[in-house]
Structure 1
């Protein structure tokens, strides 16, 4: 199966789930007009272009949403600044681009390519924090204590300049002491010190959350590998030290943003993960490893169990993580009144959390950015609480639809890859068990299929041996039986 056939499948899958695979001509025209006009730079922003800002992302990413920079303070504390691309400056509320973004609510990442939430004239050009380009940003400034707690924070608008565009793989190798070349190091004074300080800050922030029950999981996702336009493999896209670094910084910035809006008396969109409904299944899983968990959901106890399992079986930890993640269930968006205290995130062990650091890719982040800018300007909230209720519902729905499209296209690619392996046996984990069917995920290659025989009694998180029965690449069907 080549990319063109996969792309056609992706387009049809998006349409069937209420997602727009292409921009309306008016949206493209509006984006081009905005790109040619450029952003209007207001007079009330800080000029921070002189700082040693840098980005870390995938090597093929072109829509760069965040930069960061830090400085040590007395007593082991540090000041951490996270700059988020000011997408709102180029996307007019109520315009054609905004309309498309509000329908899809997210970029869709498929094996056939990316369907961006914003036209590329913006997302990969004028609203992307490219190296060497001056950009407007919303900055989250935090004082991080030696124990990883955020002692103080403030938000403001600023002009920034990306000094170095770095990649996860190379930074991770460099931090691990491998012989990984970072050509920007001799070109950007102080960059090496920034990377080491960031690595230390991320570890402190992570430790602070883990002490409060942030879950120490490590899942993997499938990355299609193409050669000359043909699919040749599905490989695990695993976490590394640099990815963890950025994740820890973004969690801190998202928390500070949620608290800022609450303190200003503004409603907000929160990312919410309730306590597990299937805690009994998690208890049973831990018991199978000889660990007794409390009868009520307890994030600290669960994280202690996960930490011990990571140390005891690092090779099998990704599979265990997947089982736990499936039992926890998906996160969702929720509208929060200014004084809301009940919308925490169980997996991250934070009580205030609002997606805000990827406005090129997620509509909730753009909504949050507009709320922040209104608060900074002394204006009324950009969205009423009732509007946020509907936005939260729609964003949760569309996120689920986008995930389903991504899985469907990946399964089509996987079906083509597996059509010559009928009858082979694979180790698998049950990822879904419902009246509509039981689904499993194999580790090598990394793919998901349906358990059509021997599914009786199988539940989410169970480890099984399965045999490949049949595939239909066009329909994305991969059928297994219990071996």
Structure 2
């Protein structure tokens, strides 16, 4: 079709080829108006342009609508992309969000190039604004401009097939919608498969329609429950082939340029079921006459930095994961087993490379000096916590008596000194027992246990804390950039809320001066053994700031330390690996130190691994909730003893101590009277009776609903509300507002009546 004759003489020719060339060269700005402007189309020529565009569309040569035409399969130079997954090499893959599947088929998936200087990398499930870059001799890829948001269009659920094809997707979160799936939109999902579903058309009647975009796996597997959490939180859990290949190529570290410490009787003390051992310890009396009663402590940590080098695929994967994730049914490791369970695991009687710190403590437990060494070591014994404790308590069992005399007893004597220093330092001493789920062979809850806290646990913890402090001190002394493990003091607003709550229990909290952990410990000691012990422990915990990783040092409030860095677990935490590299660089300990990119991206790395830590904690918590909900699904109607673990405007969260999970009691089911929410007092209080429920109360509840997929339990309160202590200011504010609203409504009603 030639250009219409009525157009301006200098206008470009309006032809099929010219329009197609314009659309191809101008992706993202090829609307009908822009095409008309480019070809100077006016008057009657608009009809010719409309006809031409309609012909090109009907032939499938261009796609889109009058607002944006494009070549089929074409991408705009800049657009919004969704990070959907990763390829076999571990690269993140982005899909354009505006892609029309009906017209253009499956969308392209472009690898994302990460610029560490521009902030943390996006995660799977996030939306980004990105530029499509095509360089000579290279494939197209995405360059991130900025991260926009977590995706909202894709939900996770379980496919339930129906007769005749199609089915529905049952959501794994209560807030998500249930979708109907047409026969052609199942992507061959089988009944019971965990799937990703994208919202389709809404209908006036019935469930909204959806399209399955990805089949994740069967919910009949033993690890199905933790699989939900992995995908819901976007946690990488399958190692790319390139990462596994790189790990398999690694070999034993050489002795060259290392100190030979293989004769030093270092030992590992870990949980009985531990598969990797990244720390070993040793202690001996100090023979320096100037340090009477002192000890020399040695902590040796697996030399992960030797194997995981900056810029390697192993390093990129470890940084992406941030940390290992621990579920009741499995561990999702930060590093492949070849590294974590083999080459870097400090196995008994096997040579292993390590980064060790030798610390001298005085007779009163204070650290006098320390030094770092890159060594080759050999663990002389592998002990479980319980076995080490039994041996030191006199029940030697199968532990070598000579090991008890020459290794264990010096360790316990050194711990006694370090413990003295800890007690003088007075870190925050919260008493919050940890519960662990034990599963049966089918992956279901068998029992819930509270592991006993032994001196063996405390010994390893204190030695690790001391080593972490030494790492931070050495790097500061060398003016070397590092990532701190920081824990800020409670905010003023949280302290004021805590102060008001404690006032209701007639427990003072000083207003003036700088609060230290010892102030909180005094309060915790005051309530120990009393009716408010668990309540006060819980509220004090909630008043604390969240610990995080940062290149800026603002101390560790909980441990009452001015400087602190994670150094002792590089197998399972990326922060520790960065600290190892920093020490290697600062102290000139050989290969595997910080790269220039490591240093320039330190802030972004700290932010990214802090986010990964929070992600892991949420996934672990969700998995426990789902496992318990599955376990209790056939006990609807049964009664349970619980404890109020959360108070909100909407109702009460009740913890079941036996199972370590929460259920919800809606406020509307509590009784006939109106319940005020006392935020500072962590309570719901009846407006007429003054009776109510408070955080920490022991209560009896009946299970009325269990939703296993969502990990949700709903209870009915059976315990009558109790008379609560003197109410806090926040109660009087909410009660006053409600009273004023009631009086205002009455006044308005009387005025209307008078007008009538």
TM-score, normalisation: structure 2: 0.58
Aligned-pair CA distance for 1:283: 3.6
For each residue in 1:71-128, what CA deviation from the matched residue of structure 2 results, as whole angstroms up to 9, or x when unmatched? 1124111110100000111122222221211111111101221111111111011110
Q: Is 1:325 aligned with 2:541? A: yes
How far apart in 1 are the matches of 2:458 and 2:504? 29
Q: Is 1:388 aligned with 2:602? A: yes
How far apart in 2 are the matches of 1:438 and 1:365? 39
Structure 2 partner of 1:155: 372
Residue of 629, 643, 655 corresponding to 1:428: 643
Residue of 695, 703, 709 corresponding to 1:462: 695
Residue of 79, 95, 105 corresponding to 2:312: 95
Aligned-pair CA distance for 1:201: 2.5
For each residue in 1:396-417, what CA deviation from the matched residue of structure 2 results, as whole angstroms up to 9, or x when unmatched? 1110100111111111111122
Q: Which runs of 5+ in 2 are unaligned?
A: 1-217, 684-693, 720-756
Q: How many residues align?
A: 467
How far apart in 2 are the matches of 1:432 and 1:392? 33
Judging changes above 3 Å, is the alpha-carbon distance between structure 1 residues 368 and 428 closer, same or farther for their aligned structure 2 residues? same
Matches within 5 A, 1:268-279: 268-277=482-491, 278-279=494-495
Structure 2 partner of 1:171: 388
Instruction: Find the structure with the greater CA-based Rg.
Output: 2
Judging changes above 3 Å, is the alpha-carbon distance between structure 1 residues 318 and 94 closer, same or farther for their aligned structure 2 residues? farther
Structure 1 partner of 2:300: 83
User: Contact between 1:323 and 1:429, CA under 8 Å: does it hold in 2?
Assistant: no
Aligned-pair CA distance for 1:389: 0.6
How far apart in 2 are the matches of 1:88 and 1:466? 52
Structure 2 partner of 1:196: 409
User: Contact between 1:6 and 1:409, CA under 8 Å: does it hold in 2?
Assistant: no
Structure 1 partner of 2:205: none
For each residue in 1:52-80, what CA deviation from the matched residue of structure 2 results, as whole angstroms up to 9, or x when unmatched? 11111100111111001111124111110
Structure 1 partner of 2:230: 14
Q: Which runs of 5+ in 1 are unaligned?
A: none
Q: Is 1:447 aligned with 2:658? A: no
Q: Is 1:121 aligned with 2:338? A: yes
- Which secondary structure does the structure 1 equivalent of 2:368 belong to? strand
- Which secondary structure does the structure 2 equivalent of 1:419 belong to? helix
Structure 1 partner of 2:508: 292
Aligned-pair CA distance for 1:418: 2.0
Judging changes above 3 Å, is the alpha-carbon distance between structure 1 residues 173 and 443 closer, same or farther for their aligned structure 2 residues? farther
How far apart in 2 are the matches of 1:375 and 1:357? 18
Residue of 28, 50, 63 corresponding to 2:244: 28
Matches within 5 A, 1:28-67: 28-34=244-250, 37-43=251-257, 45-67=258-280
How far apart in 1 are the matches of 2:417 and 2:500? 32
How far apart in 1 are the matches of 2:657 and 2:539? 13
How far apart in 1 are the matches of 2:281 and 2:342? 19
Residue of 705, 708, 731 corresponding to 1:473: 708
Aligned-pair CA distance for 1:298: 2.5
What root-mean-square deviation, in Å, do the aligned CA atoms of Structure 1 and Structure 2 show? 2.8
User: Contact between 1:439 and 1:449, CA under 8 Å: does it hold in 2?
Assistant: yes
Judging changes above 3 Å, is the alpha-carbon distance between structure 1 residues 432 and 8 closer, same or farther for their aligned structure 2 residues? farther
Judging changes above 3 Å, is the alpha-carbon distance between structure 1 residues 85 and 327 closer, same or farther for their aligned structure 2 residues? same
Aligned-pair CA distance for 1:382: 3.6
Greater fraction of residues in helix: 1
Judging changes above 3 Å, is the alpha-carbon distance between structure 1 residues 388 and 433 closer, same or farther for their aligned structure 2 residues? farther
Deviates more, 1:190-199 or 1:379-388: 379-388
Structure 1 partner of 2:579: 368
Deviates more, 1:385-394 or 1:242-251: 385-394
More relative contact order, 1 or 2 (CA 8 Å, 6+ apart): 1
